[in-house]
Amino acid sequence: MENQSGKPCLVYLNRMKPYLFMVALQFGSAGMYIISKFTLNHGMSCYVLVVYRNAVATLAMAPFGLLLERNGRPKLTLSIFLKIMALGFLEPILDQDLSYLGMQYTSASYTSAIMNAVPAVTFVIAVIFRLEHVKMKEARTQAKIIGTLVTFSGAMLMTLYKGPAIDIMHSHQANHDANSSSNKHWMVGTILILIGCSGWSAFYILQSIVIKAYPAELSLSALICLMGTVQSAAVGLVVDRKPSSWSIGWNSRLLGPVYTGIVSSGITYYVQGLVMKTRGPVFVTAFNPLCMVIVAAFASLILAELLYLGSIIGAVIIAVGLYLVTWGKSKDRLGSAPSPSPSPSPSTSEEKSDAYELPISAESTELAIEGSKADVRKTGKPKVATK
């Protein structure tokens, strides 16, 4: 009787597990924004933070890739290596460097809100490179286009209209003065964050292609982090040559790289992969606005940041656009489900199943890529990203 009474509880917990994982993940992603902003506020260069973050991520992921994928790792050709170099430039340098720099000019909550525009930017880039088919008569295409326009409208509103300050957690006056002095760079910071969004979106699209030729997810992520470390170190040494900028102690200069490297580039991608295997990327993306709310609350409490009316309205508009785009992508997944055919040839069926599944996830954070359905069935492993 005890076993029978315990079974419903276990079933309920199994059903709730993806929801609990995703809620916990949003808290972890929110911590990335808060700790990164805290580290930057205490004088650490954003270029140095990117170098150490990717170095920690490389050290954390490389052992798992070497041990778990030692038998199934494909050969690293020159073509794949050059693409990995490009991935190391798009995400660690173009995205992380510019996002951190934009965060210095704005705030952590503002950056997390703008980052929800990534799905819309990804859709636009995919249409430009003809990786996304646009059929105007279909409701899913209309939803993606309207969602993209709504998302960009929210971003433009946040850029052009700041509005009155809203102090939800009784922020300190000292921080109000600091925020006032940085208002001159608000638009510059927004542009930098949006360029970072574009780099992140381009990274997703290129990774969805590379991972088919190099289906060793952990090794690929470690290599991308390694290339990001090398390239960001070159940029950092050119921009900031002072030895004091590269020093690390038992303070936020150590906490920032360790947390962002392990949590954002390690645990986050693993948990996202687990949930994606059963629920898909639409389910994962649906929780991203929660991160924005958590960041806004904790940034006001811990960092004494002020929220502005324009940022709140724009964030709500961006969230609406995000859900429209993700709804359209969910219909794409349903519409691309394989239909039974009398005698499909192996090559034809494989080509159909290998059609690119463009990512739709939006976090600062940091998101995963679902590869082709055929790859998942063959490897049983989720695709991971390096954000």
User: Could you report the per-residue pLDDT of 37-50, keeping only the tens digit for each?
Assistant: 999 999 899 999 99
| Lowest-confidence region among 161-165, 175-179, 261-265, 311-315 | 175-179
Segment 48-86, tens digit of pLDDT: 999 999 999 999 989 998 998 888 889 999 999 999 999
pLDDT at residue 76, rounded to an integer: 92
Of the two residues 339 and 11, the one the predictor is more confident about is 11
Burial of 136 (0-12, 13-18, 19+ CB in 10 A): exposed
Alpha-carbon distances of 50 from 26, 109, 228, 266, rounded to whole Å: 21, 19, 8, 15
- pLDDT surpasses 70 at 335: no
pLDDT at 330: 77
Mean pLDDT along residues 327-335: 74
Q: What is the pLDDT of residue 6?
A: 61
pLDDT tens per residue across span 234-253: 999 999 888 888 998 888 89
How far CA 318 is from CA of 44, 75, 111, 195, in Å, comes to 30, 42, 12, 17
Three-state SS for 275? helix
**Average pLDDT of the chain to the nearest whole number:** 79
pLDDT at 207 over 90: no
How does residue 275 score in pLDDT terms, banded at 50, 70 and 90? confident
Q: What per-residue confidence (pLDDT) applies to 350?
A: 37
Q: Which two tokens stand for residue 375?
A: 């790859």
Mean pLDDT (whole number) for 167-175? 52
Is the CB of residue 49 less than 8 Å from the CB of residue 36? Answer: yes
Residue 193: pLDDT over 50 = yes
More confident residue, 168 or 129: 129
pLDDT digit string, tens, across residues 86-105: 999 998 899 999 999 999 99
